[in-house]
A and B are shown apart, each in its own frame.
Chain A
Amino acid sequence: MTLSDYLDQFAELFATFDVLGAFWQIVRLTAVSAVVSFVLGTVLALMRISPIPSLQWVGAAYVNVLRNTPLTVIILFCNLGLWAQLGLNLASPTSQTFFEQNNFRLAVLGLSVYHAAFVCEALRSGVNTVPVGQAEAARAIGLGFLPTARLIIFPQALRGAIAPLGNTLIALTKNTTVASAIGVAEASALMKTMIEFRPDVIIAIFLTFAIGFVILVLPVGLVVTSLSRRLAVAR
């Protein structure tokens, strides 16, 4: 096989299948889940560093349970458990595109609760880079727990947590492929379809998706590395 044969195969695959649409779905899942899991993870991190033992316990329990459960199990539970068994609809049941919307939102739910545990731990590692003196000084000028966290601790902690947060984002990008387990039409679902219909060009199919993910993830890694250098708190 010559190089031009391979190029023909790629052109054919792109013409027959909606490869860009599938990767767009990956981007959407990643973007929405990243925002939701960041918010949820921040709340969890607050709970874990708070002075209230019951909140600390809840935060620790959440992280330990969710972090140690396989993502496939969580996503499948969101669909077969929450939706099919318990009847939780996240979209209007009469909608023409009910499954598309509902499955997308269920997938975002599963991805977010799972990655929130990792975001929480990344933030907590950032908090550990902030010297205790900072918190003591904040208390000394009369700030309570929440103002201390918001004004003094988190701004510094975030700068120290850029690298682990970036790793979580990269993991999240690749983990969105698990959403195919509940029928979200993203890249890995399309890959299965392509293999089913075109088993004769399997190498080209694998390369398409490998390269696609490298294109998605590589810039994230580069940006995170440069940000973590530029924003590092010099101590």
Chain B
Amino acid sequence: MRTRRTRLTVLAAATALVLAGCGGGDAETPAAGETEAATEGGSEGGAEGTITIGIKFDQPGLGLQDGSEYTGFDVDVAKHVAEQLGYGEDQIEFFESPSAQRENLLQTGQVDMIFATYSITDARKETVDFAGPYFVAGQDLLVAADDDSIEGPEDLEGKRLCSVTGSTSAQRIKDEYSAGVQLQEYPGYADCVTALVAGAVDAVTTDDIILAGLASQPTNAGKVKVVGNPFSEENYGVGLPKGSENCEAINEAITAMIEDGTWEQLLQDNVGESGYTPNEELNPPTPEPCA
């Protein structure tokens, strides 16, 4: 009898722990320090706890994990915005957010915000909120450094084009510009660049700033170049969980960093080496009003 009672107690305790764990994941994260931070506005080191920010880990120039360090334009903007929300650099936890998982990570509260080349689209607005945009990218082409035959998407007829599985960019070229283009798809842009350097494909397509980041990598420097003729408009926003209270504060932080020149400096530091300059008509952008 005694052992049975002990077992029951243990079981009850374990169940309670599991339930507590489940509840915490959803409810705690947004409340942990964010609301506090929002009211305190720009005060330094005001917020307690940590903030989890979703970034790419594999995109040079934007979000790249380098040992225990994180580098890139998205990462630097994220640090700057977090600082304005009251989180010091030691209070930020970076979390990998691959494209396909971004909505899910926000909905389940695993990350508090996302800076990961996240284009603002209507379909995504159904499930998440956006602050920003903090950058306007455009689809462009990356070609071999000595290739002058490709100057825009119209020149790809009969050529071999590489992009990432499930991305919108390659399909757009096929549908709108060159119906005769051949598409190769890989899981990551690094594979595409490998194939481009080997001469197996003629061009790689995605947003210009991503291509510029790839072109600035030491191993690719001098072998590839960004064509510099963007033909679409991708508004990179800050992904937030639905109903987040931080949107206004983030927009203020973005506007401030554009006005004081930090934005341009960060861009130059991260992708300037490839000789890339963003589309000047659209950059720097003005954040949209929060919903």
Contact = CB atoms under 8 A, between A and B. Distances in A.
A193 B187 contact: no
Contacts of A183: 165, 183-186
A76 B182 CA distance: 19
A209 interface: no
Interface string A194-223: 111111101000000000000000000000
Given A84-B200, A182-B186, A183-B186, A196 B194 contact: no
Contact of B165 (A99, A193, A202): A193
Interface stretch (B6-14, B49-57, B119-127): B119-127
Given A83-B200, A85-B198, A202 B103 contact: yes
A96 interface: yes
Contacts of A195: 100, 166
A83 B195 CA distance: 9
B232 interface: no
Nearest to B103: A199
A99 B184 contact: yes
Contacts of A185: 185
A199 B165 contact: no
A98 B200 CA distance: 12
Given A83-B200, A193-B165, A198 B123 contact: yes
Nearest to B196: A84
A27 interface: no
A197 B123 contact: yes
Interface of B is mostly: mixed
B104 A202 contact: yes
A181 interface: yes
A195 B167 CA distance: 10
Interface string A101-141: 00100000000000000000000000000000000000000
A99 B166 contact: no
A181 B182 contact: no
B160 A181 contact: no
Interface residues of A, number: 26
Contact of B186 (A83, A181, A197): A181
B180 interface: yes
A32 interface: no
B3 interface: no
Interface in B168-187: 168, 180, 182-187
Contacts of A96: 180, 182
Interface string B93-108: 0000001101110000
B191 A196 contact: no
Nearest to A185: B185
A194 B99 CA distance: 12
A189 B165 contact: yes
Contacts of A194: 166
A37 interface: no
Contacts of B182: 96-99
Contacts of B123: 197-200
A146 interface: no
Contacts of A83: 200
Nearest to A195: B100
B29 to A, nearest CB: 20
Nearest to B128: A199
A42 interface: no
Interface of B: 99-100, 102-104, 123-124, 126-127, 160, 165-168, 180, 182-187, 191, 194-195, 198, 200-201
22 contacts: A80-B191, A80-B194, A80-B195, A80-B198, A84-B195, A84-B198, A97-B182, A180-B165, A180-B185, A180-B187, A182-B186, A189-B165, A189-B166, A189-B185, A192-B166, A194-B166, A196-B166, A198-B123, A199-B103, A199-B127, A200-B103, A200-B127
Interface of A: 76, 80, 83-85, 96-99, 103, 180-183, 185, 189, 192-200, 202
> Lowest 8 A-B CB distances belong to which pairs?
A192-B166, A183-B185, A84-B200, A193-B166, A199-B103, A196-B166, A84-B198, A195-B100
